Structure 1
Amino acid sequence: MSLSYEIHPVTPFQQNCSLIWCNETQRAALVDPGGEVDRLLAAVAARGLILEKVLVTHGHLDHASGVRDLQEGQGVTVEGPHPDDQFWIEALPPVAAQYGFPPARSFVPERWLAQGDSVTLGNQLLEVLHCPGHTPGHVVFFHRPSKLAMVGDVLFQGSIGRSDFPRGNHADLIRSIRGRLFALGDEVQFIPGHGPMSTLGRERRSNPFVSDAAVATMRLD
């Protein structure tokens, strides 16, 4: 595969931070470095990779608390999320204190992302999908050649993201999953923000919240 990955759960919430890299150039990115930055950097070094980017799906603390440290300490470029999540990023310090996390700092990405954008990593290209619902500015990263998506907290094996946080929206979340994620194809594997990987086809067939059978009886006003 032209793109490789490792999953490193971080923080007490066991959030799946993905280390991804281009096999042709050894250029790497960390997707959602929510914490434990030293351990993540050790994983990069162990592979002999060159860390050049941080990619952020959304602004919740378990996905974004380590971003500022990497941005300043490693000189990496930060891309994402969508600007509608700026209020979550600005709230990182008080929210970290509220949940008993180590101190977290807000950050400003070098590039906000939107539907239809793309991100490069070495010789690889990741497509950006804006998938609101869990948060208003949530994005997903999709590597089409390897049929791999990094979906943050939009979709999980057997479940979906919460929509009861500020500016969350259940109907938007279902539309994001059904209209944008499932459209990528049943064979696509995805790395969720928490828990084991799955495929979009498996979730479309059997997920109790968003499968074909589940949405047949659902009203989305």
Structure 2
Amino acid sequence: MALKYEIVPVTAFQQNCSIIWCDKTNEAALVDPGGDVSKLVAKINELGVNVTKVLLTHGHLDHVGGTEEIAAAYKVPVIGPEKQDAFWLQALPAQSEMFGFARTEAFDPTEWLNEGDEVMVGENKLAVIHTPGHTPGHVVFFSEEARIAWVGDVLFNGSIGRTDFPKGDHATLISSIKEKLFPLGNDVTFVPGHGPTSTFGNERKTNPYVADEMPIW
């Protein structure tokens, strides 16, 4: 399989930043570089990959706090999330103060994403799925070939994303999970924004928030 990834937990919130790369071209992307940039750079150097872009699932500080520093260091574009999360990115200074983080300045990405877009990491294609509910502009990155999805704070191993933030909505989040993520396949492994990985099939069986009547073979 040409697509590889390594998870690096960052910040006091232990947010899962993923370094994903193409084994054939060595081109890499960082998904949600929330902070601890020196830790991320050390891992990039250890892996020996060539960072070509930053991908953002949504605009919360613990997912985007290191974005500008990484983008400047590697001279790469910032791609995502969907434009409805612009207000979160503009509120980064206030988010920094609220959570006691070093000040993070507001920014806009190089490119906003929409449902149906595709992002390339080397020779690997990632489908962009708009998954509102936790935030209105949240997106998920899905590799059909590798059967892996980076789902940010939409779904967790045994739990789901919070919906008590501005413009969050519980019913919308449940719909995003059940109607957009689960149909991708029970075998799909997902990397959540926090905590251990799981599969959509496992969450359909065991997650108390979104379990359904899937037969257990």
TM-score calculated relative to the size of structure 1: 0.95
1:90 counterpart residue number: 90
Task: Give the letter aligned to residue 174 of structure 2.
Answer: I
How far is the alpha carbon of 1:159 from its aligned partner?
0.3
- Whether the 8 Å contact between 1:68 and 1:106 is mirrored in structure 2 is no
Aligned-partner Cα distance in 1 for 2:119–2:57: 12
Counterpart residue number, 1:216: none
Partner residue in 2 for 1:138: 138
- State the SS of the aligned residue for 1:196: coil
- Residue in 1 aligned with 2:68? 68
Distance 2:46 2:94 in 1: 34
Q: Aligned-residue CA RMSD in angstroms?
A: 1.1
Aligned residues: 214
Secondary structure (helix, strand or coil) at the match of 1:212 reads coil
Residue range with higher mean Cα deviation, 71-80 or 10-19: 71-80
1:58 is matched with 58
Report the AA paired with residue 204 of structure 2. Answer: R
Native 8 Å contact 1:139 1:151 kept in 2: yes
Shift of 1:77: 1.0
Gaps of 5+ in 2: none
Residues 5-16 of structure 1 correspond to what in structure 2 (within 5 A)?
5-16=5-16
User: Match for residue 23 of structure 1?
Assistant: 23
Deviations 1:145-192 (A, max 9, x none): 110000000000000000000000001000000000001000000000
Matching of residue 43 in structure 1 with residue 43 in structure 2: yes
* Displacement of 1:73: 2.5
Percent same amino acid at aligned positions? 55
For residues 70 and 194 of structure 1, the distance between their equivalents in structure 2, rounded to whole angstroms, comes to 20
CA distance, structure 2, for counterparts of residue 141 and residue 208 of structure 1: 24
Q: Does 1:189 align with 2:189?
A: yes
Partners of 1:51 and 1:18 lie apart in 2 by 12
- Is contact 1:147–1:187 with CA below 8 Å preserved after alignment? yes
The AA in structure 2 aligned to 1:201 is: G
For 2:50 and 2:107, the matched residues in 1 are separated by: 22
User: 1:33 is matched with which residue?
Assistant: 33
Partner residue of 2:2?
A: 2
Q: CA deviation at 1:72?
A: 2.1
Q: Deviations over 1:90-114 (max 9, x none)?
A: 1011111111011212221111001
Deviation by residue 1:46-85 (Cα, 9 ceiling, x = unmatched): 1111011100000000000111112223211110000000
Deviation at 1:202, TM superposition (A): 0.5
Distance 1:82 1:6 in 2: 24
Task: Give the secondary structure class of the aligned counterpart of 2:7.
Answer: strand
Report the Cα offset of residue 7 of structure 1: 0.4
Amino acid at match of 1:75: K
Secondary structure (helix, strand or coil) at the match of 2:53 reads strand
* Partner SS for 1:186: coil
Normalised by the length of structure 2, the TM-score is: 0.97
